[in-house]
Chain A
């Protein structure tokens, strides 16, 4: 029977587009025949800001890219600057950096689980995720004074040392999380309705996943065993014992499970860091004061106002919770970067979505979209 297709405009204001994303769908009844993604509603010109601000001043702006997990953004930019200028980083600072980044991975995946389940109609999981996230955010608050926009990592180290009582609280958090994950798995993983909604939905095979530029957990759900922490170990990852979580199915459920596994792996990494954390400086002596004592807001980092790395270009990438996060920084020898380009994981992962959902239904689009785990601040920059 000949049927007329219907143009459905989903977004930019829609409950499950995770912000301001717009799908232009051509529907045959409930079946998606064509899917176009329109982005850019949250474009703030972050790359242009990069050219206008000094190397130090740009760090707070990177917090606002992927605001669910801002620490890796901080680090990815700082890493690029460090590679450009050849700055040494003390061991303790590296450990603290990895600690905060892995903690952020846990947070990101908790929010992912919550919002995915919320997209599917189960509204309880997001509250559980946020309940545990709150504990982690309080750790961050005690560490750097902010809960989401940290501005904590500096070229040459970190802003401040860990506060008193941080490690015991972190241990408590890890212990608590290990128990809570069991709860989540019982609540979600075996649920038949959840399986019905996730299995064989939004399938993408390994080759396509790579070709479409997917990275991170979304790609590892398709059976590609690649993790930048393993491929090009940065910071102290070569000293740590962890594995890149991987599933073969390539469907939404696989992508979900990869992230649940990653929470466990991250907790495992955190435990190792707590054991191994060395003593020493938290910032390269050239870029910091000797630590002040006493006062709670004692500042230990002092970045020189005239910081001019030599002319050059660098592309440096890390494994952010959402995928490969890269910063291309070009310097022309002045105090400001000549060009900053952000390769954001959300942006590139989104390219593959239309490929996944053609021929499926609207609820499947929501489910597949939820498992790609994007943040609009990261997509639009």
Chain B
């Protein structure tokens, strides 16, 4: 009986929010948590730095990356449906052109739309003067 009463007191403390027992969840999607700077989400490729060497392609454990022609140059294309988000491609990139953004809402309606071609992942680094 005493044990149950002790437990009841603990839950009552939470009902009354005594001590550090506040509500911790957030109202997603109205509220969002801040992701860490190192978060491994969707990939992004620095348009100027990427040389299309294909090292990321060979490093990828799950055949996520293929090198495709975009305009006049070659860039990686990511099939995020197969991606492990392991970050090995980022480690391997010799030009530091590849990075992973904090974009994590990647759900989509078809497998085809999970293939992120260069048009969706390229970015230009802002040059600070």
Where the two chains meet, the residues of A that have a C-beta atom closer than 8 Å to any C-beta of B are 53, 56-61, 63, 124, 131, 134, 138, 141-146, 149, 151, 159-160, 163, 176, 179, 183, 186-195, 292, 295-297, 299, 301-303, 305
Contact = CB atoms under 8 A, between A and B. Distances in A.
A193 B7 CA distance: 11
Most buried by B among A53, A146, A193, A296: A146
Contact of A191 (B7, B39, B85): B7
Contact of B85 (A134, A149, A193, A305): A149
Given A141-B35, A296-B37, A303-B91, A146 B4 contact: no
Given A192-B1, A299-B96, A303-B91, A142 B11 contact: no
A186 B88 contact: no
A308 B11 CA distance: 57
B96 A190 contact: no
B61 A187 contact: no
Top-6 shortest CB links A-B: A190-B3, A60-B86, A57-B61, A296-B37, A145-B40, A145-B38
Given A57-B59, A143-B38, A296-B38, A187 B10 contact: yes
Interface string B59-79: 111000000000000000000
A305 B58 contact: yes
B36 A151 contact: no
A297 B90 contact: yes
Contacts of B129: none
B11 A192 contact: no
A145 B7 contact: no
Given A134-B24, A302-B91, A142 B7 contact: no
A299 B38 CA distance: 10
Contacts of B20: 176, 179
Given A131-B24, A138-B36, A163-B38, A188 B88 contact: no
Contacts of A134: 24
Nearest to B35: A141
Given A141-B35, A142-B37, A146-B40, 11 more contacts: A56-B88, A138-B36, A142-B38, A163-B37, A183-B10, A186-B7, A297-B38, A302-B91, A302-B92, A303-B91, A305-B59
Contact of B37 (A138, A292, A297): A297
Contacts of A296: 37-38
Contacts of B52: none
Contacts of B37: 142, 163, 296-297
Interface residues of B, number: 34
A187 B4 contact: no
A187 B36 contact: no
Contacts of B88: 56-57, 60, 151
A160 B4 contact: no
A49 B95 CA distance: 29
Contacts of A63: 86
23 contacts: A56-B88, A59-B86, A60-B84, A61-B84, A141-B39, A144-B38, A145-B38, A145-B87, A146-B39, A146-B85, A149-B86, A151-B84, A151-B87, A159-B87, A186-B6, A186-B7, A187-B10, A189-B3, A192-B3, A192-B4, A299-B96, A303-B91, A305-B58
Contacts of A292: 96
B82 interface: no
Contacts of A61: 61, 84
A303 B100 CA distance: 19
